[in-house]
């Protein structure tokens, strides 16, 4: 998925100073953004007060939208650098094409994981024949310095491991490991992504890694965490220092638990690129606009690639959160 802001602001992140060393409760409200086609998204990260959770640096939640009589999602070819994208669905399908030649339909609770590394381009759309409802999330993971230029790769996993409890919880491990159950998806920093389905009335406790910071995004239903209700489209940031997370479901709930070791590197994120300097971003932008081989070609998409917006007049600097 692409960041379609026509005037993307430089997003400056990094630094452990901004990470509470003890459990926190910070309710992050989404802001609306437009995606290709009829798809509107609620952007949780970056957020005004909280820009990363571990290496998770971008979280969009969309739907459920009734697209029975519409084309649905339509995101033309666009580039990425130095990040991974995660496509995650609760309803519907997304057809992924990329410059490695991948052509993959991603379905609910299947992992579509694209590592951009040095550079890749992709397009995403609803297949011509699609389910009536589309409901999902698009997430980005920042790559640490040692892996910025890793070779691009696309992974599709339809057989992710799950954990169930008698208390009405089913957890699917998207990335990382929970309670000894590990996702096969490739990660480059200590990271956690878990999909959680709760039935109404469920009261369940999940083990957490205390050195990680965590956040919970509610995709459907309402969950209570430490007594605080978190409704659809909201995300509760939980800080570090928790060894468990108790969840109460007032209704059937669909959640995403995101976590990771606080990401200490300072990064520059602009449009669909991550870099460490203004030069990294300028070079990636120029190479995309020149159709450089860095970003390859995508076969079979019926539409023109997305042009990059103009760079902002102010320089892009990699800085921490505390300016």
- Closest distance to Mn ion from the beta carbon of 145 (Å): 22
- Closest distance to Mn ion from the beta carbon of 86 (Å): 11
- Closest distance to Mn ion from the beta carbon of 140 (Å): 8
Nearer to Mn ion, 8 or 190 (CB): 8
Classify each residue of 273-310 as buried b or exposed e, where b means 16 or more C-beta atoms within 10 Å of its C-beta: bbbbebebbebbbebbeeeeebbbebeebeeebbebee
Interacting residues of 69 by C-beta distance below 8 A, sequence separation 6+: none
Return d(Cα 60, Cα 272) in angstroms, integer.
Answer: 14
Nearer to Mn ion, 2 or 125 (CB): 2
- Closest distance to Mn ion from the beta carbon of 120 (Å): 9
Let me know: does 245 contact 236? Beta carbons within 8 Å: no
Nearer to Mn ion, 101 or 231 (CB): 101
The radius of gyration of the chain from alpha carbons, rounded to an integer in Å, stands at: 19
- Closest distance to Mn ion from the beta carbon of 54 (Å): 20
Return d(Cα 163, Cα 50) in angstroms, integer.
Answer: 29
* Site residues, Mn ion (CB under 5 A): 1-2
Nearer to Mn ion, 116 or 178 (CB): 116
CA nearest to 33, candidates 53, 52, 59? 59
Let me know: does 222 contact 253? Beta carbons within 8 Å: yes
Nearer to Mn ion, 36 or 262 (CB): 36
């Amino acid at each position: 998925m692409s960041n379609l802001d026509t005037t993307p602001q430089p997003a400056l992140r990094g630094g452990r100073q901004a990470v509470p060393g003890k459990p926190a409760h910070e309710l992050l409200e989404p802001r609306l953004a437009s995606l290709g086609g009829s798809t509107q998204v609620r952007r949780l990260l970056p957020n005004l007060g909280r820009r990363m959770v571990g290496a998770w640096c971008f979280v969009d939640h969309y739907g459920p939208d009734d697209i029975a009589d519409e084309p649905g999602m339509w995101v033309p070819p666009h580039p990425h650098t130095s990040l991974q994208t995660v496509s995650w669905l609760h309803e519907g399908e997304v057809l992924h094409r990329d410059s490695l030649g991948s052509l993959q339909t991603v379905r609910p609770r299947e992992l579509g994981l694209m590592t951009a590394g040095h550079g890749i381009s992709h397009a995403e759309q609803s297949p011509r024949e699609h389910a009536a409802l589309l409901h999902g999330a698009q997430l980005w993971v920042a790559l640490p310095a040692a892996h910025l230029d890793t070779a691009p790769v696309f992974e599709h996993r339809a057989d992710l491991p799950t954990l169930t409890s008698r208390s009405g919880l089913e957890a699917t491990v998207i990335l990382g490991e929970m309670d000894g159950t590990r996702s096969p998806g490739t990660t480059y920093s200590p990271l956690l992504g878990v999909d959680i389905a709760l039935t109404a009335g469920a009261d369940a406790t999940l083990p957490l890694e205390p050195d990680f910071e965590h956040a919970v995004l509610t995709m459907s239903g309402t969950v209570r965490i430490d007594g605080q209700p978190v409704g659809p489209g909201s995300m509760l940031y939980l800080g570090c220092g928790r060894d468990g997370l108790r969840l109460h479901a007032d209704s059937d709930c669909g959640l995403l638990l995101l976590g990771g070791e606080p990401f200490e590197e300072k990064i520059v994120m602009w449009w669909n690129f991550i870099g460490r300097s203004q030069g990294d971003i300028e070079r990636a932008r120029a190479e995309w606009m020149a159709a450089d081989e860095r970003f390859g070609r995508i076969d079979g998409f019926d539409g023109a690639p997305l042009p990059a917006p103009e760079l902002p007049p102010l320089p892009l600097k990699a800085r921490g959160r505390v300016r």
